[in-house]
Amino acid sequence: MIAKSEESMGIDSKRYCMLTCDLETHFVQAYPSGMKNTQEAYLVLKHYAGQQKVSRFYSDRGSELISSVKLLKWNHDKSLPYLHTNNGIIERRNRIIPEGTRTILMKAGLPIPFWPYAVKHFCFAQNIAAMSGNAMTSPCYKRFGDSFDGCEIPFGAQVWYKPSERMAKRMPKFAGSTIPGIFLGYDQK
C-alpha cells in the first residue's frame, strides 16, 4: 500500500505499508514504513517469518521484494503483471485490509494520519478472530499454537492506563494513579 498524497501520510511520515499473509494459516500482518527499499523489505520479511521456515514466497514483482527474497534464500514465485486471476487471494487481502482500516478509523473518529496504527490493529483483529467461537480456528492459533486471551479492545476506545514514572512524578499529589488515553492497538513484537 502506498499513501500517495500528503493528506494520506501517516504519523511519523509513514507512507508505505507492506502487507504479508501466510496462505496456510491466513495470518496477516501490516508493516507501515517511511521507506520502500530492499533493507526495509528484508527486515519485514525476516520479522514476519520469525523462526518458521518459508518453503515458498509469492509476491508481485517489486524490486525490493525480489532483492530481499534473494538475500533470504527463499523460493520466490512472482505474479504475472496485469493478470488478477493469477493473484486473486492476495488481491482480495489487499482490498479487505485498506477497507477495514478506513472503517475502524471512521468508527474511532480519528484522522487519516493514524492509519499506521489502524492497519496494524485491523490485522491483529483478523488474526485473533475465531470461526464459530472455536479459538483453535483463529489464524493466530493456527500459526503459533496459542490463542489470544487478552481483552478485545476496539481501536480508538478511551482507556485508562498507568503513566510512565516520569509522567507520574509530575501529576498532582491526590490525582488518580491512571490517566485517560486512546487505544491504538497492542504492541506486537
How high is the pLDDT of residue 44?
92
- Could you tell me the three cell numbers for 30? 501490516
Taking the chain (189 residues) in consecutive chunks of 10 residues, what is each chunk's mean pLDDT? 76 88 89 90 91 84 88 84 66 88 96 95 92 80 89 94 91 89 87
Give the other-Cβ count within 10 Å of 151's Cβ. 8
pLDDT of residue 102: 95
Task: Tell how far CA 184 is from the center of its chain.
Answer: 12
Residue 84: the pLDDT is 62
Nearest by Cα to 116 from 7, 13, 6, 5:
13
Q: At what angle do helices 38-49 and 63-72 cross, to 10 degrees?
A: 50
b/e string for 13-25 if b means 16 or more Cβ within 10 A? ebbbbbbbbbeee
pTM score of the predicted model: 0.85
pLDDT at 173: 85
Q: Which residue has the cell 525476516?
A: 46
Q: Look at residue 12 and give its three-state secondary structure.
A: helix
Tell me the CA distances in angstroms from 96 to 1, 102, 179, one per residue in order.
12, 10, 34
d(CA 15, CA 113): 10
What is the pLDDT at residue 175?
A: 86
